[in-house]
Amino acid sequence: MKLKGNENGIKTVFLVILTMFLVSCAPQAQIDMLDRNVSGLKVETNRMDQELQSLKRQLSQVTGEAGQSGRKSIARLNARMDSLESELMRINGLVDQLKYNQEREESELAQLKEAIQNSLQKTASRPTAVAPASSVKSQPATTTISPKPNQVSPKEKETDLYQEGLSLFKLKKYQDAKKAFRNFIKEHPTSPRVANAHFWIGECEYRLSRYEEAILEYNKVINKYPKSNKVPDALLKQGFAFAKLGDKESARILLKRIIKNYPNTPQAKAAKRQLKLLR
């Protein structure tokens, strides 16, 4: 009977170790999937850049045209460039979505590993029951595991609220998206995503043609979170917003700052294109 108990314990330990091994394989698969998604976004970005270059050439051709036909052509090209700008913002949203999914999967994986480790420790420390020799028939031991209530970790709450704002933005529900991002900032003021939330609030204001409010929101990203990867985007959109307000001088200053501080970036390329349109 003692031997049988030891065999059961060994089987349990083996199953736990096997599970841990299978779980440990998950992160690499997730990283590979993320890499594929990012590669796809890079292809899409290159396509957009090529189209923008083509539009720039067409714009230079029609700029010298006189009369109503030339004005219509310029308006059409500007509208298409605005559309591509919106597409670029959509890609930024997809990148944020990928990061959100990755962080959530890593959080769930860490919780699962912790649960397996606890189970392994309990199994290793559990004494083996030895049935008395006089026992007529031994009864199989049963272990009752009480189900744990579904608990949402603070990290999951944080990512869910941020994701809510992104989802609303993609649905063009900009007022609701602003509220979601502001609630996120209020409830998670120390989150590394706060800078991103301010940026997306600025994007909501920009899409609502509230350019002055957008400039103020972008400025929070630039001044409060200078190390954020959203700073180049915030500077770029600030320049666009000033251009929309007719303040070409401020727009030029910001666009030149991007080209100087962030050369060879998509934001710098967009800034150069915008500068040519401001001449």
* Tens digit of each residue's pLDDT (9 = 90 or more) over 17-30: 555 554 455 555 55
pLDDT value, residue 173: 96
pLDDT value, residue 136: 44
Mean pLDDT of the chain: 74
- 197 in Cβ contact with 188 (< 8 Å): no
216-218-219 Cα angle (round to 5): 60
The total of other beta-carbon atoms located within 10 Å of residue 266's CB is 18
Query: For residue 278, what pLDDT band results from cuts at 50, 70 and 90?
Result: confident
φ, ψ dihedrals at 147, nearest 5°: -65, 135
Higher pLDDT, 140 or 202: 202
* Tens digit of each residue's pLDDT (9 = 90 or more) over 97-128: 555 555 555 555 555 555 666 666 666 566 55
pLDDT higher than threshold 60 for residue 272: yes
The total of other beta-carbon atoms located within 10 Å of residue 74's CB is 16
The predicted model scores a pTM of 0.54
Please say whether the dihedral angle defined by the alpha carbons of residues 35, 41, 43 and 45, taken in this order, is positive or negative: negative
Distance of CA 244 to the CA centre of its chain: 28
pLDDT value, residue 3: 45
Average pLDDT for 74-89? 61
pLDDT higher than threshold 70 for residue 34: no
Q: Write down the H helix ranges in the chain.
A: 2-24, 26-63, 67-125, 154-170, 174-187, 194-207, 211-224, 231-244, 248-261, 266-277
pLDDT value, residue 221: 96
Instruction: Dig out the tokens for 145 from the structure.
Output: 């595991």
Question: Quick one: angle between helices 2-24 and 26-63, nearest 10?
Answer: 10
Where does residue 209 fall: left (phi above 0), alpha (psi -120 to 50 degrees), or beta otherwise? left
pLDDT higher than threshold 50 for residue 131: no
* Tens digit of each residue's pLDDT (9 = 90 or more) over 198-255: 999 999 999 999 999 999 999 999 999 999 999 999 999 999 999 999 999 999 999 9
pLDDT value, residue 135: 46
As a whole number of Å, the CA-based R_g of the chain is 28
Which of 153, 178, 180 lies closest to 164, judged by CA?
A: 180
- 188 in Cβ contact with 194 (< 8 Å): yes
pLDDT value, residue 116: 61
Which of the residue ranges 82-86, 105-109, 165-169 would you say has the lowest mean pLDDT? Answer: 105-109
pLDDT value, residue 88: 62
Write down all domains in the chain, each with its CATH number in brackets. 1-127 (1.10.287), 153-279 (1.25.40.10)
pLDDT value, residue 217: 97
Query: For residue 158, what pLDDT band results from cuts at 50, 70 and 90?
Result: confident
pLDDT higher than threshold 90 for residue 15: no
Higher pLDDT, 146 or 59: 59
Average pLDDT for 86-106? 57
- 268 in Cβ contact with 259 (< 8 Å): yes
Give the whole-angstrom CA distance, residue 278 versus residue 255: 11
Give the whole-angstrom CA distance, residue 85 versus residue 206: 12
